[in-house]
Amino acid sequence: MSDSQFPEPDVAVEAIQPTELKEKVDADEPLTILDVRAENEFEKWSIDGENVDVLNVPYFELLDGVDEDLLARLPEDQPVVVVCAKGGSSEFIAGLLKEEGVDATNLERGMKGWARIYEYAELDVDSEATIAQYRRPSSGCLAYLVVSAGEAAVIDPLRAFASEYVQDARALGADLTYALDTHVHADHISGVRTLATETDVTAILPEPAVARGVDYDSDYETVADGDVLTVGNVDIEVLHTPGHTSGMTSYLVDGTVLATGDGLFTESVARPDLEDGDDGATDAARTLYDTLQNTVLSLPDETLVAPAHFSDAATPRDDGTYGATLGDLKSRMDALHMDRDEFVEFILSDMPPRPSNYEDIIATNLGQQDASDEEAFELELGPNNCAASQDALTN
């Protein structure tokens, strides 16, 4: 049964907007979420928080009414937010709960609406440029906007939010000049091509990433290790940092912020198996070790690591952004002090499941496969799983 086939509830059901729910979660307000999606969809990704209790009861188990067992599991002293994929079945179930006296509301547009949340915050760093971080809570994706003297660049943009980068740059008095990818992403559809075809933005791809078989129907430029891009009054230095992928590239912005892509996170390091699978993971892990030791960790300790993703195990900074200095990570992440063989064995020992639809996402990002905006959005729903561990590797 599709969402459009559900009958209208017999009682009025209030809707809560995804951004409003996110504010409540961030404020640690006690609430209960009843997720009525199928169990396999719920297990892939869900909404959680410090004071959030989550129950999963598929909607088809409730079509004949809400049983006493479920009512007993729901709190009497806090609101219940009912969630589904698109907001239709959850509205119907919320109506059934209200008829039973439960303080139930419906998440507008469901998990698809949750995936549309995109947050902007400027980093507190010592730079002549304004450097902002974009956060997508549903997937943990991070992107960065660099603005200086009327020019701007976006690093690791998402296709679903391409227009926001242009608008935000203009709001800061700048024109978006560059759209850069750190690598061929496996968890989301890149916005680099969209920005290049729909605006005057120059698409920038790492030269070794193009070697994987990029086949774009639009123009792009490449950068290699040691190159420098200028945005206004600041430089963006190009550092080839392979390991997660062969083309993985980091961008050092104004000598202060290192956009590491998926090479190094604030809570973990990259997984090495998304390009060549299990057969190539060992060699990729060795390459990752060399990259971290010889390139990344050789930078000054005060360099701020700005990754392309965060996981549930990551701890945000006081301002809600995700980042950590290299000195801080050195002091808290034991994996950065292992010898090469120990590091490789450790990284390969307990990797999480690969991102959903990652093969189709890679093919789309290479330009070898087409996807409409809606298809692209569907492909990337869920967590990123690009780190080597679901748990934090920091102390």
How confident is the model at residue 2, as a pLDDT?
Answer: 55
Domain boundaries, the chain: 15-114, 118-380
What's the pLDDT tens digit per position in 129-174?
Answer: 999 999 999 999 999 999 999 999 999 999 999 999 999 999 999 9
| Arithmetic mean of pLDDT over the chain | 93
pLDDT at 49 over 90: no
Q: What percent of the chain has pLDDT over 90?
A: 83
- 118-380 is classed in which CATH architecture? 4-Layer Sandwich (3.60)
pLDDT at 226 over 60: yes
* 141 tagged catalytic: no
Cβ atoms within 10 Å of 112's Cβ, excluding its own: 19
What's the pLDDT tens digit per position in 167-206?
Answer: 999 999 999 999 999 999 999 999 999 999 999 899 999 9
Contact (Cβ atoms closer than 8 angstroms) between residue 252 and residue 236: yes
Fold of the CATH domain 15-114: Oxidized Rhodanese; domain 1 (3.40.250)
- Paired tokens of 222: 């490449």
User: Three-state DSSP class for 86?
Assistant: coil
Please provide residue 168's backbone torsions phi and psi, each rounded to the nearest 5 degrees.
Answer: -70, -35
Burial of 260 (0-12, 13-18, 19+ CB in 10 A): buried
pLDDT band at 313 (very low <50, low <70, confident <90, very high): confident
What's the pLDDT tens digit per position in 231-290?
Answer: 999 999 999 999 999 999 999 999 999 999 999 999 999 999 999 999 999 999 999 999
Indicate which residue of 84, 107, 264, 296 is catalytic: 84
How confident is the model at residue 59, as a pLDDT?
Answer: 93
